[in-house]
Amino acid sequence: MNRAFQVLMGLADPVLISLGKGRYYKETSGLMLDVGGYMKALEYACGVEAEVVGKPSPEFFRSALQELGVEAHQAVMIGDDIVGDVGGAQRCGMRALQVRTGKFRPSDEQHPEVKADGYVDNLAEAVDLLLLHADK
């Protein structure tokens, strides 16, 4: 972390690129700090604003939609991160389901800014729900 700080401070015009803004992720041993915390620390310490190229960046979702050849209204994001997965997808016009696995926390269902289009207990339930509504 200090080395990244030193490199950025040594540049005349520092650029910070982040793969995402995630706060934490889940390992088998428990929750772990994700890239967002480190990004925010470097932004603050170096006085720069990071360019986010992963979730929840709108460009990330638009690129995926383009690669799949579908419009936002034709796609549904299924993820365990209320802000990065659900919120990011919804800001691009997609619908989004949150799975109650992985990094899901019960408080996600009362998030002050992001509300999933639906909640499912696992990926299999999400697939069954999508297939049930596929013709509608």
What residue numbers bound the domain in which 81 lies?
A: 70-132
Q: Residue 84: which residues within 8 A CB-CB, separation 6 or more?
A: 20, 21, 22, 55, 56
Instruction: Look over the chain and give the mean of its residue pLDDT values, rounded to a whole number.
Output: 95
CATH of the domain at 86: 3.40.50.1000
Predicted confidence at residue 70, as pLDDT, reads 96
List, for residues 67-116, the tens digit of each pLDDT value: 999 999 999 999 999 999 999 999 999 999 999 999 999 999 999 999 99
pTM, rounded to two decimals? 0.83
- Domain count for the chain: 2
75 lies in the same domain as 46: no
What is the tens place of the pLDDT at every residue in 24-80? 999 999 999 999 999 999 999 999 999 999 999 999 999 999 999 999 999 999 999
Same domain, residue pair 81 and 123: yes
CA triplet 86, 24, 74: central angle to 5 degrees?
15
Give, as one character, the DSSP assignment of residue 60.
H
